[in-house]
Amino acid sequence: MKSRMIAALFAVPLFTLAAAGQSAPNPAAAKVDVSSIAPPAHPATEAQIREYLALNHAIDTAHQLIKDDLRTSRATSAPYFTPGFWDDMETALMQIDLVPYFVPAYQKYFSEEDMAATIAFYKSPAGQHLLAAQSSISSAARASLVTAGREAGIEVGKKHADEIERLMKQQQPASQPSIQVPNLSK
C-alpha cells in the first residue's frame, strides 16, 4: 500500500514530462495510426534533439509543469507527506536529465533531415515569432476553454439539478442541518 501511494505521487509529474515535449494537440493528427509509421533509416541525432528541445524550451516547460503538479499534489496530499518530503521530491525530480527520455521517442519518428528542417524553422523569423507568441496563445486559449468548460458545467448542472438535489437529500444524515442546494435552474 505504501509503495503504491509513493508510486502514484511520482506518476503525475512524470506523465507531465510527456506532455512537455510536444506542441498543442492537433485533432487531425490524432486520427493517424502512428504504429504504421516506419522508423526513419537515419534517425535524428541526440545532439539535434537536444538543440530542438532547447529551441522550443521543452525542458523548461517540463520542469514548470512538474513544479505545478507538485504544488497541486502538495496542497491536496495527506498530512503525513511533510513539507520536507515535497521539497526533497521537487529537488529529486528537477535533477533528472529529461532529454534521454525524449530522445528515443523523437528518433522513432524524426529523421536527421526532418529534425534539421524543424530546427531551421525554429531558428527562422517565423519560428522565433511562434516561440515568442506560443505562451500567450496557450494562455488565451486556456482562458477561453475555462469559460467554455464552466458554461458546459452550468448547463449539465441545470439538466441534472433535480436528480442532484434528490440524491443530496437522500445522503444527508438526519442529525445534520439541511444542505443548501444551489439553484441551478436559473
Phi, psi for 43 (deg, rounded to 5): -65, 155
C-alpha grid cell, residue 102: 525524449
Average pLDDT over residues 121-143: 92
Confidence of residue 42 (pLDDT cuts 50, 70, 90): very high
Confidence of residue 10 (pLDDT cuts 50, 70, 90): very low
pLDDT in tens, 158-181: 999 888 888 888 887 766 666 565
Average pLDDT over residues 5-23: 42
> For the whole model, what pTM was predicted?
0.61
Which residues fall within 8 angstroms of residue 141, CB to CB, at 6 or more apart?
Answer: 24
Residue ranges with strand state E in 15-164: none
pLDDT at 181: 58
Average pLDDT, the chain: 82
Query: Cα dihedral sign for 114, 31, 134, 62?
Result: negative
Cα atoms in the Cβ-side hemisphere of radius 13 Å centred on 171: 8
